[in-house]
A and B are shown apart, each in its own frame.
Chain A
Amino acid sequence: MGESRKISLSVNGKTYEEEVEVRFTLADFLRQQLGLTGTHLGCEHGVCGACTILLNGRSARSCLMLAVQADGQEITTIEGIAPSEDEMHPLQEAFRDNHGLQCGFCTPGMLTTLIEFLGDNPDPTEQEVREAISGNLCRCTGYQGIVAAALDAAQRLREANGA
């Protein structure tokens, strides 16, 4: 084992106190140490976006951050998006209804990126959605189902919020 530090952080609402190797990326820490393997690694150089998580509500590449940098921060991963075990988030529902995923490998990053985006822009145009996910690569869908899902989810969220 190399040098390690103790960190304390909140992941999906749960507080963790963990000893972590200083060179571990946040992604490897989440996946290997906490067992939260829903966050995926597609390129490990910050381009594909599959590893995107929410860091204090803002999207961030967990492959480009060290775990120690997350000390004291609040993180949400794909495992923490749904409101309960029996219920999916409207964005997740919209992905299913609009065929927004095929192999599902890029999906965690798409969902986290879009949750942040729809929070900032609840009524986006198609082009705005495309720009929002321009940092997330998908090799299966051609993005069409993802864009449709995002627009559908935006509407569902607006309706749920009484807009």
Chain B
Amino acid sequence: MSGWKVFGSRAKRLEDPALLTGQGRFVDDIILPEMVHAAFVRSPHGHAKILGIDKEAALSIAGVYGVFTLEDLRPFLNNERLVVGLPSPSYKQELDRPALADDEVVYVGEPVAIVVADTRYIAEDAAAMVDVDYDILPAVSDCRAALEEGAPLAHSSSPHNILAQFDMGYGAVDSVFESASHKFSESMWQHRGGSQSIECRGAVSIYDPVEELVTLYSATQAAHTAKNILIDMLGLNETQIRVIIPDVGGGFGPKLVFYQEDVSVVLAAKILGRPVKWAEDRREHFISTTQERDQFWEVEIAVDDDGKILGLRGSMIHDHGAYTARGINLAFNSALIVSLPYDVPCYYMDVVLALTNKVPVTPVRGAGHPQGIFVMERLLDRAARELGIDRAEIRRRNLIPSEELPYTKGLKTRGDAPVVLDSGDYLACMEDAMERIDFVGFPERQEQALKEGRYIGVGLANYVKGTGRGPFETVTVRIGPSGKIMVYSGAAAMGQSTRTMLTQIVAEHLGGDMNNIEVVTGDSSVVAMGIGGSASRQTVTAGSSALLAAQEVRDKALKVAAHILEASEEDLEIEGGEIRVKGVPDLKVELGTVAHAVAGTPGFALPGGIEPGMESTQNFMIDDLTFVNGTAAVEVEVDPETGKVSFLKYVIVHDCGTVVNPMIVDGQVVGGTAHGIGNTLFEWMGYDETAQPITTNFAEYLLVSAPEMPHVELGHMESPTPLNPLGVKGVGECGVVPAPAAIISAVENALSPFEISIGQVPLRPPEIVEKIQDFKAANSQAG
């Protein structure tokens, strides 16, 4: 943006120098005097009764300080359960996790006891020696089977396996479908794995008996949430708990959750009177960190002869896992997003969240949106194919035109507010993406390739996603007598460049020197309230509060400086660490001096008649989500012999409103795209029929590595949202949302000679080969 000092620029990240030289401080890097190490005894069964726990052998090992079960923690617990579920009227049962397993384990990986020892090596030895007597119970693994009559119960005390059920929709769906000339139905299986942040979870806790203060360093995305749950569980007051987020090696959703291990580490430190560290290993991450998993959709679209959508309806079964660790929001997001980018006159979706004996499901980057978008885009491809309409053309006829924005959908958010698409130009994004990938010229390329025996395909997918979820994120901007500008926020950083983002916003209004600003996030002691990092929200929420706070501090500083310099406020400017009279560079006062002047001197009035302190705290209130939008366009080649999918080109054109730092935005979109490619072609979190996880390392569960990853070509549109003073929309999840829909569309297109239709994610090479073989077998029989 022209005229700005640093806002909108490709400013280098402030986070980088420490991280590039090994000076970062991740939770496992914290080494304290007297610190001891924890390991967890975990359930090896999907479902079992605990008949007894024998700690004796473990406690006899030299260097072991304690083995604690729920019974040992109970005297310190005000509430034994982690009450974390977001509210919803749709719950049929409330299933909050116990601090440690009580008399029944309900998923493999569920923590049963915490073992503390001199080293992690000894703690793990001892954990293996804790003898838990289990009576194995029938487990339910598949979420569809969970709903069948006579299915094993995930919890033996539950009446059934339905955790929640809800529906949503608008319009006269049934009568529209009754009279529609074209109806197409599809069954879809969509699966996403875990976050697999390269840093696993971890916690270090210190108990200070003098101050009666619990300090928890945790690799979490939400310090204040952790603090509030600890207040509830331990029955302490607000000043007795401090949660600090050190550097976090990726979050992607599951680190938003507060876990049994967090409270166990806190209590072990309190009981032993020594700092306790727990660093999750990768196998633990696979079995005990929340993940996304299966959704099974039965959906139907009604269209007229021109491909104009008349309605969409269906049902979905969602694997919830064994406990509620977040809420129903993931399934809710999926059902809510389906129809959003398009003009869909009527809509109905019925959703059941089924309990299974697996680790709880909570959102991973994208949070259910890729699945909903996949449903819509696959149905449009199907309708286009059946009616002989070009895939882009059917979208063109149905996308909500920019002149109709803001556009109110007949749906409500989880907070019961209307869903309003605020700004953007969906069609322009799609046209740009099509041009970049030469969508129009593709049939010719495909024909040529087929002559050479090569199977290439093109696909595209449009998406919107609600971002910037409120209600607020506090930011305090304060200038102290040192002249340093301090920025405090309840926001949390886990790799999204939060510090750089807030610095660019604040610096713009307070002198433009990014090096004169210190940002403190992820510390529950610096601001009273905080929500944290999720839902592509922090630039919108914390960014807006930072802007307002910086502007207020600027106004105050100019007022005081005007008094000191005996000049008019309008004639002043802030440059670097100084306020000076424009055109008279010698007439100036340092920011520190201005701050000192309002810090208070006994008996003297404050200059300029302002409030004490050169600071401002702001909570910009967000009522409505702001919707990002975009289009992914993908060209692939499929090897019919091996089932390998290679990318020939990957384009994403998106609109996240005003851009604070284009370099960071690009990084977020490409990173999200990689996550989406992984979800589509590689990642599968497998369980067998006894709910035993069968993909628990990086050889069995594949992440995308550099050679499989295409160069992603980015196109940007910039439609500032009217919903916040910066005009920004969230960007962290943009890349992942359209990826499965666009890639599967391209693969299906490449395999069109084999008449293969694909309604599943992930799609792995053996499945592609099998589909081709099925076609060939059917054809040879027919022939």
Task: Assess whether A142 is interfacial by the CB under 8 Å rule.
Answer: yes
Q: Does residue B706 face the partner (Cβ distance < 8 Å to A)?
A: yes
What are the residues of chain B within 8 A of A92 when measuring CB–CB?
20-21
Bound Cα distance A147, B667 (Å): 12
Smallest CB gap from B495: residue in A: A103
Measured in the bound complex, the distance between the Cα atoms of B732 and A140 in whole Å is: 10
Q: Which residues of B contact A88 (CB under 8 A)?
A: 17, 20-21
Residues of chain B in range 10-25 having any CB-CB distance to chain A below 8 Å: 12-13, 15-17, 19-25
- Nearest residue in B to A39 (C-beta to C-beta)? B22
Report B163-201 CB contacts with A as 1/0, cut-off 8 Å.
000000000000000000000000000000001111110
Name the contact of B495 in the complex, choosing from A23, A31, A140, A146 (C-beta under 8 A).
A140
Interface pair A35/B699, CB less than 8 Å apart: no
Once A32-B31, A37-B29, A130-B706 are accepted as A-B contacts, the answer to whether A43 and B697 lie under 8 Å apart by CB is yes
Q: How far is the CB of A32 from chain B (nearest CB, A)?
A: 7
Q: Is the CB of B703 within 8 A of A137?
A: yes
Residues 44-101 of B contacting A (Cβ, < 8 Å): 62-63
Is A118 interfacial (CB 8 A cutoff)? no
Complex: A81 Cα to B19 Cα, angstroms: 13
Q: Which of B646-691 contact A (CB under 8 A)?
A: 663-664, 666-667, 670-675
- A69-99, CB < 8 A from B: 77-79, 81-82, 88, 92, 95-97, 99
CB of A135, distance to nearest CB on chain B (Å): 8
Q: Which residue of B lies closest to A50 (CB)?
A: B198
B494 to chain A minimum Cβ distance, whole angstroms, is 6
User: When A40-B199, A137-B698 are in contact, do A101 and B20 touch as well, CB less than 8 Å?
Assistant: yes
Chain B residues in 8 Å Cβ range of A42: 198-200, 249, 282
Instruction: Give complex CA distance A2, B63 in Å.
Output: 10
Contact with A along B625-661 (1 / 0, CB 8 A): 0000000000000000000000000000000000000
Of A31, A95, A139, the residue contacting B20 (CB under 8 A) is A95
> Do A105 and B282 have beta carbons less than 8 Å apart?
no
The distance in angstroms between the C-alpha atoms of A82 and B200, with both chains bound, is 27
A131 interfacial by beta-carbon distance below 8 Å: yes
Pairwise interchain contact B24-A143, C-beta atoms closer than 8 A? no
User: Using Cβ atoms and an 8 Å threshold, which residues of chain A touch B118?
Assistant: 1
Is the C-beta of B462 less than 8 angstroms from some C-beta in chain A?
no
Q: Does B769 contact A (CB under 8 A)?
A: no
Chain B: CB-nearest residue to A32: B31
User: Which of B399-407, B707-715, B745-753 participates in binding chain A?
Assistant: B707-715
For residue B701, which residue of chain A has the nearest CB?
A47
A111 near B20 (CB under 8 angstroms)? Answer: yes
Question: Do the beta carbons of A38 and B21 come within 8 Å of each other?
Answer: yes
> In the complex, A39 Cα to B199 Cα: how many Å?
12
**Whole-angstrom CA separation of A78 from B252 in the bound complex:** 25
**Which A residues touch B699, using CB under 8 A?**
45, 47
**A143–B706 contact, CB under 8 A?**
yes
* Pick from A50, A107, A129, A137: contact of B705, CB under 8 Å: A137
Tell me the complex Cα distance, A146–B12, Å. Answer: 15
Known contacts A1-B63, A139-B196, A143-B674; is-contact A104 B247 (Cβ 8 Å): yes
Interface membership of B720, Cβ < 8 A: no
Q: Mark B1-41, 1 if CB is under 8 A from A, else 0.
A: 00000000000110111011111111011010000000000
Are the CB atoms of A142 and B21 closer together than 8 Å?
no
Asked if B114 lies at the interface with its beta carbon under 8 angstroms from chain A, I say no
Q: Contact check, A38 vs B22: say whether CB atoms are below 8 A apart.
A: yes
A interface footprint on B483-516 (CB within 8 Å = 1, 0 otherwise): 0000000000011110000000000000000000
Q: From A23, which residue of chain B is reached at the shortest CB distance?
A: B121
Question: 1/0 contact trace for B114-144 toward A, CB 8 Å?
Answer: 0000111100000000000000000000000
Residues of B within 8 A of A40 (CB): 26, 198-199, 249
Min Cβ gap A28→B in Å is 8
Pair B281/A102 contact, Cβ less than 8 Å: no
Chain A CB within 10 Å — which of B22, B26, B29, B670 has the most?
A: B22
Interface pair A82/B21, CB less than 8 Å apart: yes
Q: Tell me whether A105 and B663 are in contact (CB under 8 A).
A: no
- With A103-B198, A137-B198 in contact, do A142 and B31 touch (Cβ < 8 Å)? no
In the bound complex, CA of A40 to CA of B19 (Å):
11
Q: Which residues of B contact A140 (CB under 8 A)?
A: 250, 495, 667, 671
B560 in the interface, Cβ–Cβ < 8 Å? no
Range for the number of chain B residues in contact with chain A: 35 or more
Is A55 in contact with chain B by the CB < 8 A criterion?
A: no
Measured CB to CB, the closest approach of chain A to B34, in angstroms, equals 14
Does B459 belong to the interface (CB within 8 Å)? no
- How many whole Å from A86's CB to the nearest CB in chain B? 11
Q: Is the CB of B12 within 8 A of A96?
A: yes
**Which of A38, A39, A82, A145 is packed against the most chain B CB atoms within 10 Å?**
A38
Of listed A92, A133, A138, A143, residue having the most chain B CB within 10 A: A143
Q: Which residues of A contact B21 (CB under 8 A)?
A: 38, 78-79, 81-82, 88, 92
CA gap between A126 and B120 in the complex, in Å: 41
- A51 to B276: give the CA distance in the assembly, Å: 23
Interface centre among A47, A127, A133 (most CB of B within 10 A): A47
Q: Roughly how many angstroms separate A101 CA and B26 CA in the complex, as a whole number? A: 15
The CA-CA distance from A74 to B138 in the complex, in Å, is 54
Q: How far is the CA of A106 from the CA of B664 in the complex (A)?
A: 18
Tell me the smallest distance from the CB of B471 to a CB of chain A, in Å.
Answer: 27
User: Which of B26, B28, B121 contacts A21 (CB under 8 A)?
Assistant: B121
B-contacting residues, A118-136, CB 8 Å: 126-127, 129-131, 133-136
- B154 interfacial contact with A, CB 8 Å: no
Nearest-CB distance from B532 to chain A (Å)?
16
Closest to B252 in A: A139
Does chain B have a CB within 8 A of A18? no
How far apart are A70's CB and chain B's nearest CB, in angstroms? 18
* CB of B248 closer than 8 Å to a CB of A: yes
Q: What are the residues of chain B within 8 A of A129 when measuring CB–CB?
A: 706
Q: CB distance A105 to B664 under 8 Å?
A: no
B-side contacts of A1, CB under 8 Å: 62-63, 118
Q: Bound complex: CA of A50 vs CA of B198, how far in Å?
A: 8
Question: In residues 228-285 of chain B, which contact A (Cβ within 8 Å)?
Answer: 247-250, 252, 279, 281-282
Q: Is the CB of A96 within 8 A of B20?
A: yes
In the complex, which residues of chain A have a beta carbon less than 8 angstroms from the beta carbon of B711? 126, 144, 147
Chain B residues near A50: list those with CB within 8 A: 198
B735 within 8 A of A: yes
CB pair B494 A103 closer than 8 Å? yes
Bound Cα distance A115, B264 (Å): 41
Residue of B nearest to A143 (CB): B706
Q: How far is the CB of A79 from chain B (nearest CB, A)?
A: 4
- Contact partner of B707 (CB less than 8 A), chosen from A21, A24, A31, A134, is A134
What 20 new A-B contacts, CB under 8 Å, besides A1-B118, A130-B706, A136-B706? A31-B29, A38-B22, A40-B199, A43-B698, A50-B198, A78-B21, A79-B22, A96-B12, A99-B13, A99-B667, A101-B20, A108-B22, A130-B707, A137-B698, A139-B250, A139-B674, A139-B703, A141-B671, A142-B735, A144-B711
A-B pairs with lowest CB-CB distance, top 6: A38-B22, A103-B495, A105-B249, A104-B19, A142-B674, A47-B698
A/B interface sample: 17 pairs, CB < 8 A: A1-B118, A21-B121, A38-B23, A42-B200, A43-B282, A44-B282, A97-B12, A101-B20, A102-B250, A103-B198, A104-B249, A106-B249, A130-B709, A139-B196, A142-B735, A143-B709, A145-B667
